[in-house]
Structures are given as structure tokens and as C-alpha cells.
């Protein structure tokens, strides 16, 4: 018997981790390029890569949340998991701001790696809950 709680929470963690990691990776790239490129044109176009990375991270979070919860019977539940995964990815990105100011680019990179690790652990949790023998049936 499949475990719907593990499938749902694993899909949520997977989407949040991978989506948040994608946004944080974009922030790391932008912050690294800020140190190497100087000039007045960098201030005008600095928001473009951050916005693109944020939109990509939201899409990745929603897609992984939807994909990892595919063994759930309810499409509505899968949709909620996808949307909550995107919101979770955005929260991970919001937490990156104080980490960047306190620890700099190395801390931001570590936060991104931790986000991807969360995504991998959530994916494994969802896959484990999707097996037919995830829950033991009572006799």
C-alpha cells in the first residue's frame, strides 16, 4: 500500500529544495559577476538575471513538486503540492538574503547546496512512499 503522506511531503520538499536551489544558484552567479564586472551598465541590468533565475526557480519548484507527487490519485492534491513547492522555493530564496549579508558568497553557495540536498532527500522520500510496500497492511 502506498503512503500518500510520504508522497506529498516528499514532493513538496523536492520542489522546494530544487526550486530554491535554482534561485540561489542564480543569485550566486549574479553576486560573483558583480565582483568581476564594473561599470554603470551593470546596475541597470542587474535585475534581469535575478528575475530570470527567480522565474526559473519557481517553474522548477512547481514542476518537481508536480512530478514527484504523480502517484497520488487526486490531481487537485498534486496541483496544491506544485504551488506550495513554488512558494517554498521563494521562501528559501528570501532566506538567502540575510545569509548573503552575513556570510557572503561562500555562505550563499553553501545555502544553495543545502537546498539541492533537501530536494534530493525529498525526492527519495517521495519515491520510497510511492512503492506498493511503503505501508504494511494490518492483518
Q: Where are the domains of the chain?
A: 4-130
pTM: 0.87
Q: Cell for 91?
A: 521562501
Instruction: Tell me what the mean pLDDT of segment 96-107 comes to.
Output: 93
pLDDT greater than 60 at residue 79: yes
pLDDT surpasses 60 at 72: yes
Average pLDDT over residues 43-60: 83
Which of 19, 49, 17, 18 lies closest to 31, judged by CA?
49
Binning pLDDT at 50, 70 and 90, where does residue 3 land? confident
Phi, psi dihedrals of residue 132, rounded to the nearest 5°: -70, -20
Q: Which segment of 43-47, 69-73, 95-99 scores lowest on mean pLDDT?
A: 43-47
Whether residue 135 contacts residue 5, with contact meaning beta carbons closer than 8 Å, is answered with: no
Amino acid at each position: 500500500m502506498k503512503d500518500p503522506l510520504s508522497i506529498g511531503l516528499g514532493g513538496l520538499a523536492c520542489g522546494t529544495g530544487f526550486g530554491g536551489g535554482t534561485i540561489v544558484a542564480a543569485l550566486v552567479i549574479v553576486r560573483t559577476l558583480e565582483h568581476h564586472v564594473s561599470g554603470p551598465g551593470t546596475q541597470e541590468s542587474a535585475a534581469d538575471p535575478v528575475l530570470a533565475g527567480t522565474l526559473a526557480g519557481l517553474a522548477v519548484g512547481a514542476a518537481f513538486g508536480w512530478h514527484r507527487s504523480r502517484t497520488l490519485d487526486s490531481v487537485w492534491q498534486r496541483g496544491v503540492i506544485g504551488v506550495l513547492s513554488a512558494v517554498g522555493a521563494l521562501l528559501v530564496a528570501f532566506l538567502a538574503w540575510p545569509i548573503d549579508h552575513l556570510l557572503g558568497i561562500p555562505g550563499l553557495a553553501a545555502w544553495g547546496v543545502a537546498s539541492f540536498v533537501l530536494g534530493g532527500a525529498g525526492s527519495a522520500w517521495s519515491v520510497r512512499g510511492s512503492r506498493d510496500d511503503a505501508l504494511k497492511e494490518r492483518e
